[in-house]
């Protein structure tokens, strides 16, 4: 569904939780709270009960508070304005970009860990992943690649490629549609990217 509320719920659930785990929770949650108004009207206990078993309960509390803010401040419409969206509890740069591109068709890159890994390998980005410098570089590269009007599809393609083919360990380069142009692959250094910060 391209409904902004549905995308928002999915993106929050997918933080630190794998897709296979999320699917049954997402289905049940959306059945229980099909609209942002339904979620806003629910008690926190009901929301936490529906979230039970997924962990990281701050996500559920923030989503609930965000739904109430949408009803109170935005007449029940998830805002398409990036600043208003980022002002919602628990909505950071990635979640905002995902909602904007997937639900509103905005031409913005959404860089989850999978997308960052694909781009870091494809361009052999030297900056350590997770640093502001790396995020700036990867965002610029992704923005330059975005097909106008199709950012949502592009972002999803990167998510899926990183989750299923360009995986953190043992990437399946033989199955990758980008292998011929991948700089890390050309150097035989697929697993050296993305570069990691040294541990303290």
Q: List, by residue number, the catalytic residues.
A: 11
Phi, psi of 19 (to 5 degrees): -55, -45
Q: State yes or no: cis peptide before 3, omega within 30 of 0.
A: no
What are the backbone dihedrals phi and psi of residue 3, each rounded to the nearest 5 degrees, phi first?
-65, 130
Collapsing DSSP states into helix, strand and coil, what is residue 174? helix
User: How far is the C-alpha of 175 from the C-alpha of 29, rounded, in Å?
Assistant: 35
Q: Nearest to residue 99, comparing CAs of 116, 118, 74, 78?
A: 78
| Residue entry with tokens 């009803």 | 71
Residue 9 · residue 30 · CB < 8 Å:
yes
């Amino acid at each position: 569904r391209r409904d902004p509320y549905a995308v928002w719920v999915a993106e929050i659930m997918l933080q630190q939780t794998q897709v296979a785990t999320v699917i049954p929770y997402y289905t049940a949650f959306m059945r229980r709270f099909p609209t942002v108004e339904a979620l806003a009207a629910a008690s926190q206990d009901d929301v936490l009960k529906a979230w039970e078993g997924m962990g990281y309960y701050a996500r559920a509390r923030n989503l609930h508070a965000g739904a109430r803010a949408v009803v109170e401040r935005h007449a029940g419409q998830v805002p398409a304005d990036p600043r208003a969206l980022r002002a919602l509890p628990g909505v950071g740069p990635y979640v905002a970009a995902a909602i904007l591109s997937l639900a509103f068709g905005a031409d913005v890159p959404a860089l989850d860990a999978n997308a960052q890994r694909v781009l870091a390998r494809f361009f052999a980005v030297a900056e350590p992943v997770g640093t502001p410098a790396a995020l700036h570089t990867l965002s610029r590269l992704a923005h330059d690649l975005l097909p106008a009007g199709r950012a949502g599809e592009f972002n999803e393609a990167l998510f899926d490629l990183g989750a299923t083919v360009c995986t953190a360990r043992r990437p399946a380069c033989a199955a990758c549609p980008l292998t011929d142009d991948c700089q890390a692959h050309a150097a035989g250094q697929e697993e050296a990217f993305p570069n990691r910060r040294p541990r303290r």
